[in-house]
Structure 1
Amino acid sequence: MTFKKNFCVAAIASLLISPLSVSASYTDNEIRIGYLADMSGPYRDPIGPQGMDAIQMAIDDMGGAINGAKIVTYSADDRNSPDVGSSIVRSWIDERNVDMVTGLVASSVTLAAIRLLEEHDRLGLVNGAVSSAITNQHCGPNHFHWVYDTWAMSNGTARAITQEGYTDWFLLSADYSFGHMLEADVEQVVESNGGQVVGKVRHPFPTTDFASYMLQAQSSGAQVISLNNAGTDTTNAIQTASEFGITQAGQILAGMVLFSSDVRSLGLEAAQGLQFTKAWYYDINPEARAWAERFQERTGSMPTMVHAGLYSSTLHYLQAVKAAGTDDTQTVRKQMMETPVDDIFAQNAYIREDGRMVHDMYLVRVKSPEESADENDLFEIVRTIPAEEAFRPLSESVCKLVNN
């Protein structure tokens, strides 16, 4: 908006005159945040309404205001529809003058939203969406990708399993942009590590009946069935595989995007032995556990990695707004990139020029019921994937912001 741009120019000019004027450099004297997510569909449990609790925890930790400017939030259900999501973001920009939009779960919704954010020079903090294209083909100067992406998830899991000698793969993928990207990334990792894809099939999003897809996977002769989906699609697929005796017969299920809430929904009996890559787990260190217990006291359940990412990215954003003394998008973006990320989600992490927040990832294995000490003791960390290995190297990037 013209008003916002003019205001920011005036704010910068006033800073040159007096450093005490920072308290008056926030548009509308408020910092406005929109949380856009799937509140009622397949991503409700791992992200959904409780994502707003994570955001509010970050706001509370900042005291609810910055230099006298109140922090205001809005939230909405995008229903996993790009049209619905775009309409909400446009109305937030036009009618509520939001500074930042976070959440952004379905990749199709996210890609539509970040175009609008760039057009209107607002900031987007992508936490739920997984497509690695967000900071590759679709990178831009107005969004960061925080928690994970398809390259990191597939590279961590598919490489480990293939290198263990399980080389024949069947790919079961959700039929939309996220599933397509994850499928492509898994296939690339498998083949580059000496494996082969012996079959693939795509299912509608969302799907409740996976019987025909699992029969195809079972009859393919593949050693590994890669589940390139998320949320209830993944849990329904795993449940169907269990009913068909697929894992009992020796085929391996490789979940590419799994959450702690998914494992609880399935139960350790059905999920035990699954290996997959996670961006965060509440038992990584004492600080993470303490924050997770705060979250549980507030919501009644332990947080997922996206909940932790929402807290981390919101806190980093608000700290940058405070340090910069303005809510001007590009000034705050620069401050965020110049400041290391060091909190309950990640340590010694940073934001690259393509907008990817780079941090350690973790290959985990689901414990058996006998190995689990309590209802929250779900995973064993098999290995830590160092930050520099976890995400697509910039040398392979096609992002327009990267100078290769």
Structure 2
Amino acid sequence: MSRTERRTIVGALAALPLAAPATLRAQPRPVQIGLLSDMSGPFRDVGGPGNRIAAELAVQDFGGSVLGRPVTVRQADGQNRADVSAALAREWIDNLGVDVLADGAASSSGLAIQEVCREKKRIYIITGPATSDMTGAKCSPYGMHFGFDTYALAHGTGTALTKAGGNSWYFITSDYAFGHALERDTMAAVRANGGQVLGAVRAPLNNADFSSFLIQARASGAKVIGFALAGLDLQNCIKQAAEFGLTRGGARIATLLVQITDIVALGQRTCEGMVLTDSFYWDLNDATRAWAQRYVARMKSPPGLQHAAVYTGVTHWLKSVREVGSTEAEAVAARMKATPVNDMYNTDVRIREDGRTLHTMYLWEIKKQAEAKQPFDFCSLLATIPPEQAWRPLSEGGCPLVRS
């Protein structure tokens, strides 16, 4: 580009505010939804790009605008690091004016985002992090947990397998906040139902080789080996457990957090007979099937709970913003908790004062591949778990927002 061309462009840009101030003023600032996700690590498939599609579907279904302003969605990779996620959250709020944050991926990242949102007074729609501490000791007046948590996962699967005769357990656990919480909560469920815990071993996040951990688990003699893992770590451990013949001695594997993208990646035959706890399944009802069809058209894979939770959380936030006439966090948080959640898979679901969304949970079993009647026909329903049984009692969480 010549020097004259550069001068012409700079001159035109400098004159723009004088030439068309009315045009500029006519463009309202968008309402911004910010997703801090895992875009390149072990949780990319269970959240990642699919979470953006889910958020965009929510915005589309809402009409694309609120308070007379267009709604936009931005997404960045938090790298499952607390420092990176917190820095991005702070940058988005302080310098880009992002109105609400969502996702969070790893629990350690989510806890860091929650602290930034507490300080900056921004709503945080929690969907990726699973630690029950999000609505426990680390709860925030602005944090709403729309996904699963470790208490519900542990008490659904842990209770069912212990009662079915799996009364001795050994754990292979991801060595970060999520794994620690899931192990803790499952141990409590096992012991509450008369079982015993024989031991546990910790595996680093994003681990490729589980051989030494599987050897220790087999040597324990436990009837149930609990995998307190997620994403690619879970998939790698399941594959290697099959290679080691972990179940040949009669032990059963408890996959405490299995998502539909894990089944797609592993193959239905590998997952046959696995038991899991979840609040969403694409084939749950006519509405979930219709929504899933739209999602698959864009993503080419089925939606899981995290994707559905993003859709639910964004939709509920937008409805509350419209009703209070503002994005101000105090007013919106109060309305979100006062208004029942209703969408494709929730009917009159309440958000508790600690931020826990009280979904109905379901216990599923992965059916045999020969029984599948269509693509992604993975799950058979074993039991419906009502909210009062699925979630930790309000009095036991230690949330300082809860009135004694």
Alignment TM-score > 0.5, same fold: yes
Note if contact 1:309-1:345 (Cα within 8 Å) is conserved in structure 2.
no
Partner of 1:320: 320
CA distance in 2, matches of 1:239, 1:374: 24
Describe the superposition over 1:5-43 as per-residue Cα deviations: whole angstroms up to 9, x where unpaired.
xxxxxxxxxxxxxxxxxxxxxxx6431111001011000
Any idea what SS the aligned residue of 2:84 has? helix
CA distance in 2, matches of 1:66, 1:125: 18
Letter in 2 for 1:136: G
After the TM superposition, which of the residue ranges 380-389 and 65-74 deviates more from structure 2? 65-74
CA distance in 2, matches of 1:93, 1:287: 34
CA distance in 2, matches of 1:271, 1:247: 13
Partner of 2:343: 343
Note if contact 2:287-2:345 (Cα within 8 Å) is conserved in structure 1.
no
Partner of 1:77: 77
Any idea what SS the aligned residue of 1:351 has? coil
Describe the superposition over 1:217-256 as per-residue Cα deviations: whole angstroms up to 9, x where unpaired.
1111000000001001111111111111112432111011
Describe the superposition over 1:152-196 as per-residue Cα deviations: whole angstroms up to 9, x where unpaired.
000000000001111010011000111111111111111111000
Partner of 1:357: 357
CA distance in 2, matches of 1:301, 1:224: 31
Any idea what SS the aligned residue of 1:225 has? strand
Any idea what SS the aligned residue of 1:301 has? coil
Letter in 1 for 2:356: R
Query: Runs of 4 or more off by more than 4 Å in structure 1?
Result: none
Any idea what SS the aligned residue of 2:364 has? strand
CA distance in 2, matches of 1:194, 1:388: 21
Letter in 1 for 2:198: V
Letter in 1 for 2:61: D
Note if contact 1:33-1:74 (Cα within 8 Å) is conserved in structure 2.
yes
CA distance in 2, matches of 1:348, 1:154: 25
CA distance in 2, matches of 1:115, 1:243: 42
Describe the superposition over 1:118-168 as per-residue Cα deviations: whole angstroms up to 9, x where unpaired.
101111000011000000010111111111100000000000000111101
> How many residue pairs are counted as aligned between the two chains?
377
Partner of 1:162: 162
Residue 114 of structure 1 and its aligned partner are, at CA, apart by: 0.7
Any idea what SS the aligned residue of 1:148 has? coil
Q: What TM-score results when the alignment is normalised by the length of structure 1?
A: 0.92
Q: What TM-score results when the alignment is normalised by the length of structure 2?
A: 0.92
Any idea what SS the aligned residue of 2:371 has? coil
Residue 67 of structure 1 and its aligned partner are, at CA, apart by: 3.3
CA distance in 1, matches of 2:136, 2:62: 32
Partner of 2:152: 152
Unmatched 5+ residue regions in structure 2?
A: 1-27
Partner of 1:98: 98
Q: What is the correspondence of 1:3-402 to structure 2 with a 5 Å cutoff?
A: 29-402=29-402
Note if contact 1:271-1:366 (Cα within 8 Å) is conserved in structure 2.
yes
Partner of 2:19: none
Letter in 1 for 2:339: T
CA distance in 2, matches of 1:182, 1:206: 17
Note if contact 2:166-2:223 (Cα within 8 Å) is conserved in structure 1.
yes
CA distance in 2, matches of 1:50, 1:166: 35
Describe the superposition over 1:50-106 as per-residue Cα deviations: whole angstroms up to 9, x where unpaired.
110000000111111113211122210011111111110010011111110001111
Note if contact 2:226-2:253 (Cα within 8 Å) is conserved in structure 1.
yes
Letter in 2 for 1:177: A
Percent identity between the aligned chains?
39
Any idea what SS the aligned residue of 1:49 has? helix
Note if contact 2:34-2:102 (Cα within 8 Å) is conserved in structure 1.
yes
CA distance in 2, matches of 1:331, 1:219: 55
CA distance in 1, matches of 2:368, 2:113: 41
RMSD (Å) for aligned C-alpha atoms: 1.0
Any idea what SS the aligned residue of 1:200 has? strand
Any idea what SS the aligned residue of 2:48 has? coil
Note if contact 2:140-2:354 (Cα within 8 Å) is conserved in structure 1.
yes
After the TM superposition, which of the residue ranges 278-287 and 147-156 deviates more from structure 2? 278-287
CA distance in 1, matches of 2:103, 2:312: 12
Note if contact 2:67-2:326 (Cα within 8 Å) is conserved in structure 1.
no
Note if contact 1:135-1:355 (Cα within 8 Å) is conserved in structure 2.
yes
Q: Whose Rg is larger?
A: 2
CA distance in 2, matches of 1:74, 1:287: 27
Unmatched 5+ residue regions in structure 1?
A: 1-27
CA distance in 1, matches of 2:388, 2:187: 21
CA distance in 2, matches of 1:263, 1:251: 21
